A = this chain, B = another copy of it.
Amino acid sequence: MAEENRRFLLAERPTGPVDENTYDLVREPVPEIGEGEALVRVQWISIDPTNRTWIGETPTYLPPVAIGEVMRGLGLGEVVASNNENFPVGTLVNGLTGWQDYAVISDENPLMVVPEGVKAEPAQLLGMMGMTGCTAYFGMLEIGEPKEGETVVVSAAAGAVGTVAGQLAKMKGARVVGIAGGPEKCAWLTDELGFDAAVDYKADDWREQLVAATPDGIDVDFENVGGEIMEAVFARLNIRARVALCGLISGYNDDEPPPGPRSFGNLLINRVKLQGFIILDYYPRFGEAIGDLSQWVSEGKLRSEETVVEGFEKLPDALNMLFAGENMGKLVVRIAD
């Protein structure tokens, strides 16, 4: 057990990517627990686009992290000391641990207990069987509702949510087109993950690639990115298309909101249904999603992909890796063995 509690505290709100001034890395004593409390040794931390939205000026679906407060983040850890019978020593817990080695939990401030029967790697518990998999599951299956033979486009397709969302649409018999950055990721999507086509948004001719990959237009947009890419996708939406609006990552590092899509009018002309969603709203139904996802993984129908970064001090860099698109699949940081 570490002798100290490393914590990233928010020092200032970044304008653009996080940098060396964004956080103070402090070393505090391992917290003492009081009555009804338990101590969690955090082992893995999940890196998500929403981390960046939580440190902006603007309240989103949660209040912004305050200056001086520990950075908000999802993590996985083990109870190492306990005065609470709901969280006995050895229990694996999952949730908003924050960017720190140790978190104190209680009935008022709990984390989700990972059921003992769940057989999954820690990174999977934060990815496919966590927030990420559930996001893809509800967004694609309940909002996108792809039908056999329809064309589905997934942006940020090589990312944590995108890899799962695309595979789920394939399972439904759709033609699936992924948008990702660089020929390597594009080849990986088609060769390894079974996507029907991929569009390299870093190539000069990405617009032509998108047109070529969607000859029958687009019936479902699983939207993670926003900006110009979303604008181009909206312009190709078919009659009664669905947009599962999951993220707008292209704008999260900007101070000003990006221009809206000029192709917005196509939502009217083609009677499109667009639904914004935040996965926390589906929390009561996570069990259902995780049950299906783990079965499909065990049957070999779904592949779970992770990129692992080693070391607590790499957390801020890992967040920038995500925005630079340097990960494939779920991005996690291992901060303890």
- Which residues in A have some Cβ–Cβ distance to B below 8 Å? 60-61, 226, 231, 245-248, 251, 256-265, 267-278, 281
User: Which 4 A-B pairs have CB atoms at the shortest separation, nearest pair first?
Assistant: A260-B260, A260-B261, A268-B276, A260-B264
- 29 A-B residue pairs with Cβ-Cβ distance under 8 Å, sorted by A, are A61-B269, A226-B264, A226-B265, A231-B260, A245-B267, A246-B268, A247-B268, A248-B264, A248-B265, A248-B268, A251-B265, A257-B262, A257-B264, A257-B265, A258-B262, A259-B259, A259-B262, A260-B260, A267-B274, A268-B276, A268-B278, A269-B276, A270-B276, A271-B275, A271-B276, A271-B278, A272-B274, A272-B276, A273-B273
A245 CA to B273 CA, complexed, in Å: 10
Chain B positions within 8 Å of A268 at CB level: 245-248, 276-278
Which residues of the partner chain B approach A246 to less than 8 Å between Cβ atoms? 268
* Choice from B263, B265, B271, B272 contacting A281 with Cβ under 8 Å: B271
Q: A259-B259, A260-B259 known; A273 and B275 CB under 8 Å? A: yes
Nearest CB of chain B from residue A309's CB, rounded to whole Å: 27
Contact A274 B273 (CB under 8 A): yes
Residues from chain B with a CB closer than 8 A to the CB of A272 are: 274-276
Question: A257–B264 Cα gap in the complex (Å)?
Answer: 9
A260 engages B262 (CB within 8 Å)? yes
Contacts of A263 in B (CB 8 A): 257, 260
Chain B residues whose C-beta falls within 8 Å of the C-beta of A256 in the assembled complex: 262
Q: Give A146 to B181 CA distance when docked, in angstroms.
A: 42
Expressed in whole angstroms, the Cα–Cα distance for A245 and B272 within the complex equals: 9
Chain B residues near A257: list those with CB within 8 A: 262-265
For A239, the closest partner residue in chain B by CB is: B61
CA distance A278 to B239 in the complex (A): 11
Residue of B with least CB distance to A243: B274
Contact B277 A274 (CB under 8 A): no
Q: Which residue of B lies closest to A256 (CB)?
A: B262
Whole-angstrom CA separation of A231 from B257 in the bound complex: 12
Q: Provide the bound-state CA to CA distance between A276 and B231, in Å.
A: 16
Instruction: Note all chain B residues with C-beta closer than 8 A to A258.
Output: 262
Contacts A260-B231, A260-B264, A262-B257; A278 near B274 (Cβ below 8 A): no
CB distance from A249 to the nearest CB of B (A): 11
Q: Which residues of chain B are within 8 angstroms of A265 by Cβ–Cβ distance? A: 226, 248, 251, 257
A204–B251 CA distance with the chains assembled, in angstroms: 30
B residues near A61, Cβ cutoff 8 Å? 269-270
Within the complex, what minimum Cβ distance (angstroms) separates A283 from chain B? 13
Chain B: minimal CB distance from A282 (Å): 11
Q: A260-B264, A262-B258 are in contact. Are A274 and B274 (CB under 8 A)?
A: yes
Minimum Cβ distance to chain B for residue A265 (Å): 5
Residues of B within 8 A of A277 (CB): 268, 271
Q: Which residues of B are found within 8 Å of A248, using beta-carbon distances? A: 264-265, 268
**Min CB distance, A161 to chain B, in Å?**
13
Contact of A278 among B60, B251, B269, B275 (CB under 8 A): B269
Bound: A267/B247 CA distance, A? 10
> Measured between alpha carbons, how far is A72 from B206 in the docked complex, in Å?
38
Distance from A152 Cβ to chain B, minimum over Cβ atoms (Å): 19
